[in-house]
Amino acid sequence: MAEHLASIFGTEKDRVNCPFYFKIGACRHGDRCSRLHNRPTISPTLLLSNMYQRPDIITPGVDPNGQPIDPRQIQQHFEDFYEDIFLELSKFGYIETLNVCDNLADHMIGNVYVLFREEDHAAAALASLHGRFYSGRPILADFSPVTDFREATCRQYEENSCNRGGYCNFMHVK
């Protein structure tokens, strides 16, 4: 029995634990999900929820004042953000992966996933981020169960063929 339960943990067949939370560290149902979200007490991966704010977040290609934004400005904004985050978090240890989600759904928009080589480095970064702000907004950081992004990433998005668009439940890595 235990072997069977271990083989289905975090899969669609698991009726107790949420497979999306296990794979992606986020679930569209949030606290209303009928399945458990097992939040790790330690992990090499941090999730910085809704941290990246696109300059065209309200309407793609348009700023909050309704003016068109040059795609190069949007890219520069992203690169500046990525550099800020990478430089700050690399102070705590070697970063294996830094993913920024380009999804639009509430549970995924602007999520940043940071996979450190060591759990201790992630723990130090998490402690440092507690109570801090970025761009005038509080940083919402926590450990994530995701340690392998292959299962979390939308393969169709990588091939420019995701028909769910920004509301896909798998990571659209920017």
Per-domain residue ranges for the chain?
38-167
Reported as a single tens digit per residue, the pLDDT across 63-110 is 778 888 888 999 999 999 999 999 999 999 999 999 999 998 999 999
Q: Topology of domain 38-167, per CATH?
A: Alpha-Beta Plaits (3.30.70)
Distance of CA 13 to the CA centre of its chain: 24
Summarize pLDDT for 68-81 with one digit per residue, the tens: 888 899 999 999 99
Burial 42-70 (b: 16+ CB within 10 A, else e): ebbbbbbbbbbebebeeeeeeeeeeeebe
Give the global pTM. 0.88
Q: Kindly write down the DSSP assignment for every residue of 98-115, as one continuous string.
A: EEEB---STTTTT-EEEE
